[in-house]
Amino acid sequence: MFELVHYRKILLFVLIGALCAFAQNPDRSKPPELGPPPTLKVPPIQHLKLSNGLPVVFVEKSQVPLVDIILQINAGSGMDPANKTGLASVTLAMLDEGAGTRNALQIADEIDYLGAALATGSGYHTSSVTLHVPLARLDAALAVMADVALRPTFPAEEWERQRKQRLTSLAQAHDNPQTIAAVLSNRLLYGGHPYGLQSGGVEASLRSFTAQDFKDFHARYFLGNHASLIVVGDIAANAIMPKLESAFGKWNAGKAPSITWPEVKQVAERQIYLVDKPGAAQSVIRIGRIGAKRATEDYYAIDVMNTILGGSFTSRLNYNLREQHGYSYGAGSGFAFRPLPGPFVANASVQTEVTDKALTEFMKELQGILGEISDEELQRAKNYQALGYPGSFQTTGQIAGALTELVTYGLPDTYFNDYIKNILAVTKEQVQAAAKKYIDPNAVAIVIVGDRAKIEAGVRALNLGPVKTMTIAEVLGKPPKMEGTD
């Protein structure tokens, strides 16, 4: 038996050697050719309604016994009243701190016992209550979700805990250069527009809020005709609709207050704002201007153009500042697409001693994107977007999240399946036109947060524009004084 086994091993080695001898050596002189871009086929999107008119956007995905439900409310921090900055954010955060007959601990324990996840949150234009749950526990979890969304109690003791946490976060922000830079950049671009405010609240508003403020906001905007339900999961429409009807079908309609969004002006000239953070080992650079709204016809061209500039690891900005010069661990850029024009921002954290040199390279790349784009760059950027896109639709949660974009912006049901085709159709001329339309290195607000004593002279010597120096307190105000401290 031993000799037979030994013989078979020798024969196997001989066969492997023969196969290797006939195999061609791989060509390592160039990267392997990419195959055709993958196709994406999102399951059919069904548009349904509850008896009270609440829209339901439904996709059946049957591979895994899970369900994701997003209740999207058409209200966010843009609806915060004057002098009540942060009201939407706090109201949403308070929803699961007590609802129906349950207190905060009971809600958390029940959701945990069900193997589910429940989350709340707000943006500028919309807010949401999100549920992820195993199909077998859907009924019980949906009952908790409905209580949280429709019947919150806003207990005073929970708000006091939340208030202290938010004041602590405001105090900690004074030592976070990324936060300092973001707050100042948004303020410079948008002023008193909601996009320019601190949507999480400021000390004065956080100290003034009462439970009645949250109840009033909830009553004004949480209306059955001012929301949408997005459902994705391993369940048929005729099975989920009665459950949704039971949970949300009696939700009253109403008329939500209208809001007029203030006009904003594009950055007119280049100016530098240097915020002093003594002893900082790095400088945070944030270069911004107002970008484009989501509904722009230039959307796909902007997407490709920004991928080339700073939207991927192989982008010009990252290659320059990270790979070529070693000034930063990573540099990039991006457009925040919203119902109204959101910001364009190019940013990086760089070593203190090369702040001026890094800023020179930023301006070089912002100027360079207005010029020639190679065929290789264009194809690489389109492949980056096309090849990665299907990976964002693998789970029920990913699909549900994507559907919020469709609901918010009124996109066609074919949008997701057509995305790759539309990206691959972008031309070099469209990319160059988008760059010239939305990128202007001579009209940007440049924010630098770093050690002024070490970087100011070098920054001024660049002669890029006026330099205004600021303290952290001028950006964020004084750190909140916490109870129990002197």
The reply to whether 24 falls in a domain is no
Q: Is residue 10 over pLDDT 50?
A: no
Are 76 and 126 within 8 A, CB to CB?
Answer: yes
* For residues 145-149, average pLDDT: 98
Same domain, 227 and 296: no
Q: Specify the CATH number for the domain of residue 145.
A: 3.30.830.10
The reply to whether 481 falls in a domain is no
Same domain, 76 and 225: yes
Q: What per-residue string of b and e applies to 87-113 under the rule 16 or more CB within 10 Å gives b?
A: bbbbbbbbbbbbbbebbbeebeebbee
Tokens of 265: 């002006």
The reply to whether 469 falls in a domain is yes
The reply to whether 36 falls in a domain is no
- pLDDT score at 63: 85
Alpha-carbon distance 107 to 99, whole Å? 8
- pLDDT score at 41: 85
Count of structural domains within the chain: 2
In tens, the pLDDT along 175-196 reads 999 999 999 999 999 999 999 9
Same domain, 289 and 239: no
C-alpha triplet 303, 308, 313: angle, nearest 5°? 105
SS3 234: coil
Are 240 and 229 within 8 A, CB to CB?
Answer: no
* For residues 10-34, average pLDDT: 55
Supply the range of the domain harboring residue 142.
Answer: 46-248
Q: Which of 216, 248, 280 is the last residue of a domain?
A: 248
| Greater model confidence, 29 or 405 | 405
Same domain, 290 and 381: yes
Q: Is residue 440 over pLDDT 70?
A: yes
The reply to whether 216 falls in a domain is yes
In 3D space, the residue among 213, 184, 170 whose CA is nearest the CA of residue 81 turns out to be 213
Radius of gyration of the chain measured on its C-alpha atoms: 27
Same domain, 109 and 240: yes
Share of residues in the chain with pLDDT > 90 (%): 88
- pLDDT score at 481: 84
Confidence of residue 26 (pLDDT cuts 50, 70, 90): low
Same domain, 285 and 425: yes
Confidence of residue 49 (pLDDT cuts 50, 70, 90): very high
Same domain, 342 and 243: no
Q: Which of 200, 233, 248 is the last residue of a domain?
A: 248
In the predicted model, what is the mean pLDDT of the chain?
93
Same domain, 232 and 355: no
In 3D space, the residue among 173, 75, 86, 160 whose CA is nearest the CA of residue 125 turns out to be 75
User: Amino acid identity of 341?
Assistant: P
Q: Which residues lie closer than 8 Å to 41 by C-beta, 6 or more apart?
A: 417
Same domain, 158 and 232: yes
The β-bridge partners of 121 are 128
The reply to whether 65 falls in a domain is yes
Same domain, 284 and 205: no
Same domain, 116 and 208: yes
Same domain, 205 and 303: no
The reply to whether 427 falls in a domain is yes
The reply to whether 483 falls in a domain is no
Alpha-carbon distance 435 to 429, whole Å? 10
